[in-house]
Structure 1
Amino acid sequence: MIIDDLGIGGIDVQLGPFLLDVIDQQSQNGLLLITSQYPKEKWYDLFADPTIADAILDRIVHKPHVIQLKGESMRRVRSRKR
């Protein structure tokens, strides 16, 4: 279920508060790793509830260390080698 909710369809209204709780707890511990294929400018649009989106994004964009990966998909590279 979580994979579908975090996928192309966005983050379901019911999943948002749970995700906020997890992110809040982990951000207080100082260790949080988030990966995304979406540009951060589009993250807000993934959330069904704008209040939850504000709260979550406030916590994850406060002090980020962003690593932007570039290049071709490893799946494509590996499929050509077969």
Structure 2
Amino acid sequence: MSEAVTPSQLRADIYRLIDRVLETGEPLEIERKGRRLRLVPDVPKGKLSRLTPQPGLIIGDPDDLVEMDWSDVIGWDPDRALNP
């Protein structure tokens, strides 16, 4: 952990301290009355992190789907699949 600054130090140099947090990603700790606060940069989440899990999702090589045996799937008719 880094050394904490006091509220007075923060007030005197707030813009430089904020810029340092944004540039380095290192949190800034502010100590007041024996307690500490942390100023941390927000790390935006990527779009993929918002995806919800899909049970039963096929994961693998799409070419493997071509070679799959679908004959055991209930209701699957190969003639209808090729000529809907």
TM-score by structure 2 length?
0.26
Structure showing the higher helix proportion among its residues:
1
TM-score by structure 1 length?
0.26
Structure showing the higher strand proportion among its residues:
2
Bigger relative CO (Cα 8 Å, ≥ 6 apart): 1
